[in-house]
């Protein structure tokens, strides 16, 4: 009769309690530093934000009084990620279309899917090394060495696997009935893809692509010897062929400076970088939850 | 009727439309093969650039640790050792923490809303750029752990791993910042694979009288093992290739030491530090090191993919 009741002292119950508390401890050890990290970055960086930050050039280190602003780096990050997107999105979406719509699971498409996963695992600095060897050291781009263009190319290599994967997976989720219906009324394959399947997968593809862009915006390693860094305003189209600053490289360079003013600039830059990356992530997450709910209804 | 049928049979696409269709398909084909071209291109370019150093030093490059541009002697043992030690030790800390956290957020210890918030928060952290983590490591983590490292050296100094006096940046800090970076990866992948274990298995285990943790250890974890292993390998690949945070905190010294409390080097931090200023045979040696790094991460990655395919759940 007694065995029907919960017995605290039973070894299985003690063991259960022990492991439960162990997993709680694991979760606490894992999560608390992470919470601390995010709040610290937002607090420390947020307190450095001033209006001049967005308009001034950074001063070269050594002048400890005033570090200036991060305008060139901010614009540079925008330009470099735009270049990367211009390269990676068409290539990635096109490749994803082939994998999801045309390939029939043969050796070629299996090899490409495998390649996408491998490319996603290539260390980001290797992408920088590759572009350095291919473009920077050969001066193939009209004689310019380090340039924003080369930096954008290095980042596009990192974005490409994400874009292909999200396109491939997004298109695979589109029900086949839509394709049959479209082909059945006489539409050709490309009309079906461009007018029916792509639009209905648009939201999931767009979410994945935007997340990929956000990730690329924070990458530093591919830029440190492709785009290098610049202290000066970006004034025109020709600046694409010269060294270009970016928020990520600014943080790297100025964090290692012994001067307090430069360090503060690095904190401010990381505030802007983290805030924009996190808000893109949170926004896409909310969007995903929202669309999931409407679909269920 | 007869007339309509022939009309139907004769209905054909215009030549232009057919051509557009074919062009569209082939464009997509070419675009998708870009992945393969880039991948092969990376391997070929890095290898061909490293060829000079490869033919001069051969495999000796991997086991000697002299890095001397003046004497033209290069060996990457310190960096390779640093890469392996930092990534494996950080993984050793991350696996129990990450899997424990994943179990915590897949079991019903706390309400579902709380678990979901924790889960998505952990995933958000994966989005923080590593250069920002490096900044944080320099200004927050290093001062925070300084006293602890001195304690570690004073009491465990007889262990070779802690045998040097801690002075600022060192390998142990790099390991710790890697743990922060890998935790989100391991946790979210482990959580996904734990969630994919069918509820039937859990109910069956409960039904024959297994306790909660007996169920977790004997049923749920083994069923999710392939997914978790793949996540761990993915994290290992990330740890090996991780550049910025490690470069900023590891201290960048090519002097070999067993101690984790002394400054160290990894392949990626060596590349980040020296690539900009290198010339001559040093460049070739750096490409050789990059090639080694690439092979390491390729092997880990391909092994992870093979593991997933081989042991993926079939219910």
Q: How confident is the model at residue B41 (pLDDT cuts 50, 70, 90)?
A: very high
Asked if B184 and B101 count as a contact pair (C-beta separation under 8 A), the reply is no
DSSP string, B14-41: -HHHHHHHHHHHHHHHHHHHHHHHHHHH
Mean pLDDT value across chain A: 87
Q: Say how many CA atoms lie within 13 Å of A52 toward its Cβ.
A: 10
Q: What are phi and psi of A47, to 5 degrees?
A: -75, -10
* Residue A212 to residue B47: CA distance in whole angstroms: 28
Asked if A247 and A273 count as a contact pair (C-beta separation under 8 A), the reply is yes
CA distance A139 to chain B (A): 15
User: Tokens 């090394």 correspond to what residue?
Assistant: A129
Q: Is the pLDDT of residue B214 over 70?
A: yes
Collapsing DSSP to helix, strand or coil, B121 comes out as: helix
Q: What distances in angstroms separate CA B53 from CA A181, B103, B270, B295, B298, one per listed residue?
A: 60, 48, 16, 16, 21
Which tens digits make up the pLDDT trace of B223-275? 898 889 988 999 999 999 999 999 999 988 888 888 888 898 999 999 998 88
Residues of chain A neighbouring B25 (CB-CB closer than 8 A)? 98, 102, 189-190
Collapsing DSSP to helix, strand or coil, A58 comes out as: strand
Q: B242, B244, B292: which to substitute to probe chain A, counting the most A Cβ within 10 Å?
A: B244
* Helices of type H across A98-197: 107-121, 124-131, 148-172, 176-184, 189-191
Which of these, B311, B179, B35, lies nearest to A120 by C-alpha position? B35
Q: Is there a contact between B21 and A188 if contact means CB atoms under 8 Å apart?
A: yes
User: Tokens 């791993």 correspond to what residue?
Assistant: B161
Q: Please give the structure tokens belonging to residue A241.
A: 């062929």
Longest dimension (CA), chain B: 101
* Residue B207 to residue B222: CA distance in whole angstroms: 18
Taking CA B167 as the corner, what is the angle to CA B237 and CA B181, rounded to the nearest 5 degrees?
Answer: 25
Mean pLDDT in residue range A183-197: 90
Q: Is there a contact between A91 and B34 if contact means CB atoms under 8 Å apart?
A: yes
Predicted pLDDT of residue A258: 85
Q: Which of A22, A112, A189 sits opposite B32 (nearest CB)?
A: A112
* Residue B111 to residue A22: CA distance in whole angstroms: 18
CA distance A201 to chain B (A): 17
**Percent of the residues in chain A that have a pLDDT greater than 90, as a whole number:** 44
Q: Is there a contact between B241 and A123 if contact means CB atoms under 8 Å apart?
A: yes
Asked if A135 and A203 count as a contact pair (C-beta separation under 8 A), the reply is no
**Percent of the residues in chain A that have a pLDDT greater than 70, as a whole number:** 96
Q: Is there a contact between B96 and A285 if contact means CB atoms under 8 Å apart?
A: no
Q: Is there a contact between B211 and A34 if contact means CB atoms under 8 Å apart?
A: no
Q: Judging by DSSP bridges, how do beta strands B73-74 and B67-68 pair with one another?
A: antiparallel
Q: Is the pLDDT of residue A296 over 50?
A: no
Q: Is there a contact between A19 and B39 if contact means CB atoms under 8 Å apart?
A: no
Q: Is the pLDDT of residue A194 over 70?
A: yes
Mean pLDDT in residue range B196-202: 91
Q: Please give the structure tokens belonging to residue A75.
A: 């614009």
Could you say which residues from 228 to 267 on chain A have a Cβ atom under 8 Å away from some Cβ of chain B? 228, 248, 251-252, 255-256, 263, 266-267
Could you say which residues from 180 to 209 on chain A have a Cβ atom under 8 Å away from some Cβ of chain B? 188-190, 193
Predicted pLDDT of residue B54: 87
Which of A2-6, B52-56, B302-306 comes out lowest in average pLDDT? A2-6
Mean pLDDT in residue range A210-237: 87
Q: A123, A191, A198, A252: which to substitute to probe chain B, counting the most B Cβ within 10 Å?
A: A123
Q: Is the pLDDT of residue A297 over 50?
A: no
Asked if B245 and B36 count as a contact pair (C-beta separation under 8 A), the reply is no
Q: How far is CA A125 from the centre of its chain?
A: 15
Q: Is there a contact between B27 and A30 if contact means CB atoms under 8 Å apart?
A: no
Q: Is there a contact between A125 and B13 if contact means CB atoms under 8 Å apart?
A: no
Q: What residues contact B32, with CB distance under 8 A and at least 6 apart?
A: A94, A95, A96, A98, A99, A103, A109, A112, A164
User: Tokens 């994945």 correspond to what residue?
Assistant: A208
Which tens digits make up the pLDDT trace of A36-90? 888 998 899 888 888 888 888 888 777 666 778 889 999 999 999 999 999 999 9
Asked if B149 and B261 count as a contact pair (C-beta separation under 8 A), the reply is yes
Q: Is there a contact between A160 and B38 if contact means CB atoms under 8 Å apart?
A: yes
Q: Is there a contact between A266 and B212 if contact means CB atoms under 8 Å apart?
A: no
Collapsing DSSP to helix, strand or coil, B204 comes out as: helix
Mean pLDDT in residue range B194-216: 91
Residues of chain B neighbouring A116 (CB-CB closer than 8 A)? 35
* Helices of type H across chain B: 2-10, 15-57, 60-63, 77-106, 112-125, 130-136, 142-156, 171-196, 199-207, 212-215, 221-241, 244-249, 267-274, 281-311
* Residue A236 to residue B212: CA distance in whole angstroms: 65
Q: Which of A121, A189, A281 sits opposite B21 (nearest CB)?
A: A189
Q: A7, A17, A19, A27: which to substitute to probe chain B, counting the most B Cβ within 10 Å?
A: A27
Q: How confident is the model at residue B11 (pLDDT cuts 50, 70, 90)?
A: low
* Residue A282 to residue B126: CA distance in whole angstroms: 13
Mean pLDDT in residue range B100-118: 89
A286 touches B at CB < 8 Å: no
Mean pLDDT in residue range B135-153: 90
Closest CA in chain A for residue B118: A31
Predicted pLDDT of residue B25: 92
Q: What distances in angstroms separate CA B48 from CA A134, B95, B124, one per listed residue?
A: 11, 37, 39
Q: What are phi and psi of B67, to 5 degrees?
A: -130, 90
Q: Is there a contact between B136 and A119 if contact means CB atoms under 8 Å apart?
A: no
Residues of chain A neighbouring B241 (CB-CB closer than 8 A)? 121-126
Residues of chain B neighbouring A164 (CB-CB closer than 8 A)? 32, 35
* Residue B315 to residue B153: CA distance in whole angstroms: 51
User: Tokens 């945070």 correspond to what residue?
Assistant: B245
Residues of chain A neighbouring B28 (CB-CB closer than 8 A)? 94-95, 97-98, 101-102
Mean pLDDT in residue range A132-142: 83
CA distance A207 to chain B (A): 14
Report pTM.
Answer: 0.90
Q: What distances in angstroms separate CA A205 from CA A100, A167, A260, A288, one per listed residue?
A: 13, 5, 43, 12
Q: Is B93 exposed, middle or buried (0-12, 13-18, 19+ CB in 10 A)?
A: middle
Q: Is there a contact between A129 and B287 if contact means CB atoms under 8 Å apart?
A: yes
C-alpha dihedral over B237, B242, B246, B247, to 10 degrees?
A: 140
Which tens digits make up the pLDDT trace of A102-135? 988 789 989 999 999 999 989 999 999 999 989 8
Asked if B226 and B304 count as a contact pair (C-beta separation under 8 A), the reply is no
Which of these, A114, A135, A163, A216, lies nearest to B36 by C-alpha position? A114
ipTM of the complex: 0.90
Predicted pLDDT of residue B163: 80
Which tens digits make up the pLDDT trace of B64-104? 888 887 888 888 899 999 999 999 999 999 999 999 999 99
Which tens digits make up the pLDDT trace of B159-177? 888 888 787 888 999 999 9
* Residue B72 to residue B281: CA distance in whole angstroms: 7
* Residue B90 to residue B132: CA distance in whole angstroms: 19
Q: What distances in angstroms separate CA B276 from CA A47, A175, A268, B204, one per listed residue?
A: 33, 50, 26, 60
Asked if A162 and A91 count as a contact pair (C-beta separation under 8 A), the reply is no
* Beta bridge pairs of residue A144: A141
Q: Which of A124, A220, A248 sits opposite B241 (nearest CB)?
A: A124
**Sign of the alpha-carbon torsion through A120, A75, B244, A48:** negative
């Amino acid at each position: 009769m007694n065995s029907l009741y919960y017995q605290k002292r039973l070894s299985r119950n003690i063991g259960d309690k022990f492991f439960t508390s162990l997993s709680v401890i694991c979760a606490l050890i894992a999560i608390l530093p992470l919470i601390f990290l995010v709040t610290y970055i937002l607090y420390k960086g947020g307190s450095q934000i001033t209006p001049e930050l967005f308009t001034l050039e950074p001063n070269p280190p050594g002048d400890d009084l005033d570090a200036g602003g991060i305008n060139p780096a901010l614009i540079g990050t925008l330009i470099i990620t735009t270049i990367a997107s211009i390269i990676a999105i068409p290539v990635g979406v096109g490749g994803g279309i082939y994998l999801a719509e045309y390939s029939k699971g043969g050796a070629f498409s299996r090899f490409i899917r495998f390649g996408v996963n491998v490319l996603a695992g290539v260390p980001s600095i290797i992408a920088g090394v590759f572009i350095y060897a291919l473009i920077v050291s050969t001066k193939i781009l009209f004689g310019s060495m380090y340039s924003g263009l080369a930096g954008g190319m290095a980042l596009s290599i990192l974005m490409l696997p994400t874009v292909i994967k999200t396109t491939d997976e997004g298109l695979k989720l589109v029900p086949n009935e839509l394709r049959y219906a479209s082909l059945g009324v006489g539409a050709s394959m490309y009309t079906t893809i461009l007018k029916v399947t792509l639009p209905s997968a648009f939201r999931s593809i767009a979410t994945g692509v935007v997340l990929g862009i956000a990730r690329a915006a924070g990458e530093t390693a591919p830029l440190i010897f492709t785009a290098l860094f610049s202290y000066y305003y970006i004034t025109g189209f020709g600046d694409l062929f010269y060294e270009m600053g970016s928020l990520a490289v600014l943080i790297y360079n100025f964090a290692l400076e012994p001067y307090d003013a430069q360090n503060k600039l690095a904190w401010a830059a990381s505030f802007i970088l983290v805030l924009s990356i996190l808000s893109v992530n949170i926004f896409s997450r909310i969007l995903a939850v929202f669309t999931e709910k409407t679909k269920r209804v | 009727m007869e007339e309509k049928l022939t009309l139907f049979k004769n209905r054909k696409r215009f030549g232009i439309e057919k051509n557009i269709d074919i062009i569209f398909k082939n464009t997509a084909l070419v675009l998708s093969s870009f992945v393969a071209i880039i991948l092969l291109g990376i391997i070929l370019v890095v290898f061909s650039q490293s060829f000079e150093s490869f033919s001069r030093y051969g495999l000796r490059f991997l086991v000697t640790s002299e890095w001397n541009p003046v004497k033209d002697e290069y060996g990457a043992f310190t960096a390779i050792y640093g890469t392996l030690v930092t990534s494996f030790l950080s993984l050793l800390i991350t696996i129990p923490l990450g899997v424990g956290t994943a179990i915590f957020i897949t079991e019903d210890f706390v309400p579902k809303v709380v678990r979901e918030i924790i889960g998505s928060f952990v995933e958000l952290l994966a989005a923080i750029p590593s250069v920002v983590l490096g900044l944080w490591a320099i200004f927050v983590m290093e001062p925070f752990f300084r006293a602890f490292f001195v304690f570690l050296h004073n009491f465990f100094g007889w262990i070779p791993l802690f045998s040097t006096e801690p002075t600022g940046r060192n390998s142990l800090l790099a390991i710790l910042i890697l743990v922060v970076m890998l935790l989100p990866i391991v946790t979210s992948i482990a959580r996904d694979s734990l969630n994919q274990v069918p509820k039937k298995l859990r109910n069956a285990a409960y039904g024959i009288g297994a306790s909660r943790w007996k169920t977790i250890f004997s049923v749920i974890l083994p069923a999710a093992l392939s997914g978790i292993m793949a996540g761990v390998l993915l994290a290992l690949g990330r740890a090996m290739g991780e550049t910025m945070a490690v470069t900023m905190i590891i201290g960048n010294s090519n002097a070999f030491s067993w101690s984790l409390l002394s400054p160290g080097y990894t392949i990626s931090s060596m590349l980040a530090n020296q690539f900009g200023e290198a010339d001559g045979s040093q460049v070739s040696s750096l490409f050789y090191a990059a090639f080694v790094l690439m092979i390491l991460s390729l092997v880990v990655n391909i092994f992870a993919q093979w593991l997933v395919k081989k042991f993926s759940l079939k219910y």
